[in-house]
Amino acid sequence: MTDTLHRRPLHSTGLDTGSAPASGEPHRRQSDAADALDQQASVLMARWWSGLSPISLALAATDWALHALSSPGSQRRLAQQAAQLSQAWWQDACRAWAETVTATATALPPPGAAASGLPDGSGGEDARPEDASPLLRAVREDPRYADPAWQRWPWSGLASASKAVELWWQQAAALRGMQAHSREQMRFYGRQWLDAWAPSNMLWTNPQALQRAWETGGQSLLRGWGRMVQDMQWRLGLQPPPQRFDPELAPGRGLATTPGQVVLRNALIELIQYAPSTPTVQREPVLVIPSCIMKYYILDLSPHNSLVRWLVGQGHTVYIVSWKNPDEDDALLAMDDYVRDGVLAALDHVRCATGAPVHLMGYCLGGTFAAIAAAALGGGDARLGCQHAAGVAEEGVLASLTLLAAETDFKEPGELGILIDEAQVRLLEDMMAARGYLTGQQMAGSFQFLHSRELVWSSQTRRWLLGEDEVGNDLMAWNADVTRLPAVMHSQYLRGCYLNNDLAEGRFQFEGQPIALRDIRVPVFAVGTVKDHVAPWRSVYKIHHLVSAEVTFALTSGGHNAGIVSEPGHRGRYHHLLTTPADHPWRTPDEWLAVAPRLEGSWWPSWSAWLNQRGSGQAVPARQPPHNPALGPAPGRYVMVRYGD
């Protein structure tokens, strides 16, 4: 597999000396041998550094260190800020000590608090939030220190000391003259280090853990120890992953239960058509392209929050793509394959089967694929098999394009960009070349690392220190059902989109032909989410100046997943919505937000109404999916494939 995936096209090792080598074949063999040795060393380095590139980190650290050493003014400023934060910490610690003494003197604490030094939390809240120092406010705003015990001495002093160092480092990592990528890396890795050493992560500095141990007679610690051993054995490969979720939270049982049939299967996808639940449907069908980074049923979770079930109930004919979970034989699958055999193959089937233009929708990377396909169709660089049929040429293939949390301009990719540079991508390529794919756990680990405070440390605190079981839900069960990514496609995606931004700048090629997003002329509905760290909404918003079409943009509450899975009736949901004509002057994201009306509730009804308005408005008899025993019912076979890595 290493020989098959040798990356000479990506990293040419030939030396251009201006003259031909004396012997071409020996020179090539030497170059190949050197590349193979470099690759082996890179894979070994990846194992030592948990998949992170020490070269990338060293470059960032060097950038920071050189600017720190050559900036006496910044040194003085940081020293002054350290002194100010130290003074604020001392004042807060003294106040917390005085409040604790007062509370202890005026009220008899419960037995557990007396033995462990933990009052019941009834005192220590005298200071009003508006009167608290910035350091104390930072502690109170941190969910790790939400328990009242953290407001009492000595625990408040530990928490505020941790926050003080964190606040100082955010300033120290941003020195004048540093490269922007280095600055973000230093901030990020420094925060990761500080999060690892937060007082909430250790038994003797966590008042909640000590209180729980006292109340349970040490049983919480015994349970936590058992869970820690179990987790460690799993990470070392000594036993399968611990079962944290209800077995019924699986595709075809509690999840992905919307009735339907697989109507197409090829080497890359299964296409599912859902059974109608209304006597008539809109003429134009909806084709959903989820990301191949995830299993498709993020959009068909439980019956109450299934987007596809809800769409079917609104009178739409809904199709969805289920991607194959690749193995080593799929290592050479490329971006072209995912667009051609994934998006275009599904689109061809739906257009031919229904005889109507299609509402194409893509989510996350699936949205990027959908945009590429729409641009290729719009520019004449791709054609469907059914385009010669009567009526297709007149009506076109697409009725509209919807992009959910999908980037098409990757210049500002948010936190994910911290982990993407030349050194890191090359390390990933060497890791993938050894197997032919990026494992699901490696992909999941990247997202966990980006949000380790919530997804790693807080989870371990609950399991190991408090002895609590995580309460699994449908979204968490789906998130644990990881998928692989083939080596070539993933490399092309990282380089062509993230490193070079080829798609936005007109250099991206589909089957050898450059495509341009400005060839997209059908109406576009784009959704960004307020808390998205994978596809920041201001980055998603850039679709406005890339396409030659009207764009309806919805900015919804929530994050990359929870903001999309936002069913009607979900408490606290809202969205901003505004349509911008194709010829409207450019508005910045903040200017758009200032004029876009805020609507309470889910964005789903707004999107369904938009689909109806951008279609013909005609109702046709409901379309029943054809039954083929060789293909089988939804959720299909591909979604069931899981690997232990």
CA atoms of 564 and 65, how far apart (whole Å): 41
Tell me, what's the pLDDT at 242? 65
Confidence label for 17 from pLDDT (cuts 50, 70 and 90): very low
**Highest mean pLDDT out of 20-34, 247-261, 447-461, 540-554:** 540-554
Tell me, what's the pLDDT at 177? 93
Tell me, what's the pLDDT at 222? 93
What's the average model confidence in pLDDT over 129-144?
78
Tell me, what's the pLDDT at 52? 85
**Least confident residue range of 142-151, 349-358, 399-408, 492-501:** 142-151
Residue 144 has pLDDT above 70, yes or no: yes
Residue 22 has pLDDT above 60, yes or no: no
Residue 557 has pLDDT above 90, yes or no: yes
Question: How much is the CA Rg of the chain, to the nearest whole Å?
Answer: 28
Tell me, what's the pLDDT at 132? 64
Confidence label for 506 from pLDDT (cuts 50, 70 and 90): very high
Residue 458 has pLDDT above 50, yes or no: yes
Are 623 and 354 in contact by the 8 Å Cβ rule? The answer is yes
Are 174 and 187 in contact by the 8 Å Cβ rule? The answer is yes
Residue 349 has pLDDT above 70, yes or no: yes
Are 60 and 181 in contact by the 8 Å Cβ rule? The answer is yes
Residue 114 has pLDDT above 50, yes or no: no
Q: What does the block give as tokens for 596?
A: 């876009």
Tell me, what's the pLDDT at 389? 61
Which residues are the active-site residues? 364
Residue 267 has pLDDT above 60, yes or no: yes
Q: Amino acid identity of 201?
A: N
- Binning the chain into helix, strand and coil, the percentages to the nearest 5 are 50, 10, 40
Tell me, what's the pLDDT at 13? 33
Within 107-129, where are the H helices?
111-116
Residue 319 has pLDDT above 90, yes or no: yes
- Concatenating the DSSP letter of every residue in 284-301 gives S-EEEE--TTS-GGGGS-
Are 389 and 516 in contact by the 8 Å Cβ rule? The answer is no
Region at 572 (left for phi over 0; alpha for psi -120 to 50; beta for the rest): left
Tell me, what's the pLDDT at 130? 52
Residue 502 has pLDDT above 90, yes or no: yes
Domain boundaries, the chain: 68-121+129-222, 260-411+501-640
Counts for the chain of helices (H) and strands (E), in that order: 23, 16
What's the average model confidence in pLDDT over 402-431?
91
Residue 34 has pLDDT above 90, yes or no: no
What's the average model confidence in pLDDT over 64-82?
95
Percentage of the chain exceeding pLDDT 70 = 89
User: 345: closest CA among 380, 327, 369?
Assistant: 369
Class in CATH terms, 260-411+501-640: alpha beta
**Least confident residue range of 25-29, 603-607, 622-626:** 25-29
Residue 65 has pLDDT above 80, yes or no: yes
277 or 449: whose pLDDT is higher?
277
Are 600 and 294 in contact by the 8 Å Cβ rule? The answer is no
User: 249: closest CA among 471, 474, 469?
Assistant: 474
Q: Amino acid identity of 234?
A: W
CA atoms of 213 and 83, how far apart (whole Å): 37
pLDDT in tens, 156-206: 999 999 999 999 999 999 899 999 999 999 999 999 899 989 999 999 999
Residue 526 has pLDDT above 70, yes or no: yes
What's the average model confidence in pLDDT over 270-283?
97
Q: Amino acid identity of 468?
A: E
Q: What does the block give as tokens for 402?
A: 């919807």
Residue 72 has pLDDT above 90, yes or no: yes
CA atoms of 307 and 286, how far apart (whole Å): 12
